[in-house]
């Protein structure tokens, strides 16, 4: 068992955790803390594709105005 100390900013360093790793935090009645690793879904960004002389916005998720503007900035 490893002992960890909370700093003045309420932070704990978990030695085996990787950068940007996400954990679900659970506290039971006996004040026992359980951290469960959670996989974050990486959304695929929308992109502009040219087919048959026309331009299409391709994505499998709902498209926002920010997605359209970001895709337009990258399009030649």
Can you give the pLDDT at residue 39?
85
Per residue in 6-61, pLDDT tens?
999 999 998 889 888 889 999 999 999 899 999 877 777 778 889 999 998 887 77
Torsion over CA: 11, 42, 61, 52 (sign): positive
Complete DSSP assignment for 60-73:
SS---HHHHHHHHH
- Determine, yes or no, domain membership for 12: no
pTM for the complete prediction?
0.46
In a domain, 5, yes or no: no
**66 confidence band (pLDDT: 50, 70, 90):** confident
Domain membership flag for residue 69:
yes
**In this predicted structure, what is the pLDDT of residue 28?**
93
Number of domains in the chain: 1
Domain with 64, as residue range(s), is 42-76
Asked whether residue 36 is assigned to any structural domain, the reply reads: no
């Amino acid at each position: 068992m490893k002992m960890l100390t909370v700093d003045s900013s309420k932070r704990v360093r978990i030695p085996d955790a990787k950068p940007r790793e996400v954990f679900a935090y659970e506290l039971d009645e006996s004040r026992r803390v359980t951290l469960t690793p959670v996989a974050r879904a990486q959304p695929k960004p929308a992109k502009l594709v040219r087919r048959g002389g026309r331009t299409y916005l391709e994505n499998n998720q709902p498209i926002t105005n920010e997605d359209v503007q970001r895709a337009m900035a990258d399009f030649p």
